[in-house]
């Protein structure tokens, strides 16, 4: 399956990291919770997603756009597992969103009272390209 790499101007990967739940124990109001963090923070994560994300050719041909909500677990050791789609757009966009998150590598783990814990997280990835004269526009400004 061919993919077309798009620039940050054509592909908007809008995302917010949302902790679903600290997976260790029940949260006490006095607990100090720190969310997992991608090395370099949100800006680095955004840059990584923009640089890695490729719009599947099949999705372009079918004019598929939308937001895929990807969930995953950041382990107490910082490794990701359980990457899954919570809100689907299409099979090809879902697979691409999961591929990108799966490849993101080590994260700084979340902490509860200073101790590393597992966290479930979710990130919406918005697949959107600009249309010019009813055609998708690639990163060179030409339609394909």
Per-residue pLDDT for 16 more than 80? no
What is the model's pLDDT at position 26? 57
What is the model's pLDDT at position 29? 66
Structure-block tokens of residue 55: 């719009």
Residue 47 falls inside a structural domain: yes
Residue 143 falls inside a structural domain: no
Range of 2-11, 48-57, 110-119 with top mean pLDDT: 110-119
Q: What is the DSSP letter of 26?
A: P
* Total number of domains constituting the chain: 1
Q: For the sheet with 33-34, list strands across it.
A: 33-34, 110-112, 115-117
Residue 45 falls inside a structural domain: yes
CB of 123 within 8 A of CB of 13?
Answer: no
Residue 3 falls inside a structural domain: no
Residue with the bigger pLDDT between 131 and 74: it is 74
Tell me the average pLDDT across 15-25. 48
Task: Look up the CATH number of the domain holding residue 54.
Answer: 3.30.2420.10
Domain encompassing residue 60: 9-24+31-136
Q: pTM value? A: 0.72
Pairing type for strands 115-117 and 33-34 reads unpaired
Residue 2 falls inside a structural domain: no
Distance CA 107, CA 120 (A): 13
- What percent of the chain shows pLDDT beyond 90? 56
CB of 48 within 8 A of CB of 80?
Answer: no
Residue 1 falls inside a structural domain: no
Tell me the average pLDDT across 21-40. 74
Across 117-137, b (16+ Cβ under 10 Å) vs e yields bbbbbbbbbebebeeeeeebb
What is the model's pLDDT at position 28? 58
Instruction: Find where tokens 């370099």 sit.
Output: 40
Residue with the bigger pLDDT between 120 and 22: it is 120
| Maximum C-alpha span of the chain | 57
């Amino acid at each position: 399956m061919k993919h077309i790499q798009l620039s940050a101007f054509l592909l908007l990967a809008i995302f917010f990291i949302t902790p679903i739940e600290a997976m260790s124990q029940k949260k006490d109001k006095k607990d100090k919770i720190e969310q997992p963090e991608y090395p370099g923070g949100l800006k680095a994560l955004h840059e990584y997603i923009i640089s890695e994300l490729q719009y599947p050719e099949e999705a372009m041909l079918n004019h598929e756009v939308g937001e895929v909500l990807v969930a995953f677990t950041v382990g107490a050791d910082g490794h990701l597992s359980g990457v899954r789609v919570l809100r689907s757009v299409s099979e090809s966009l879902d697979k691409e969103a999961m591929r990108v998150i799966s490849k993101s590598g080590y994260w700084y783990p979340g902490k509860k009272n200073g101790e590393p814990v597992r966290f479930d997280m979710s990130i919406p990835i918005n697949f959107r390209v600009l249309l010019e004269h009813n055609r998708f526009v690639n990163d060179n400004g030409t339609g394909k």
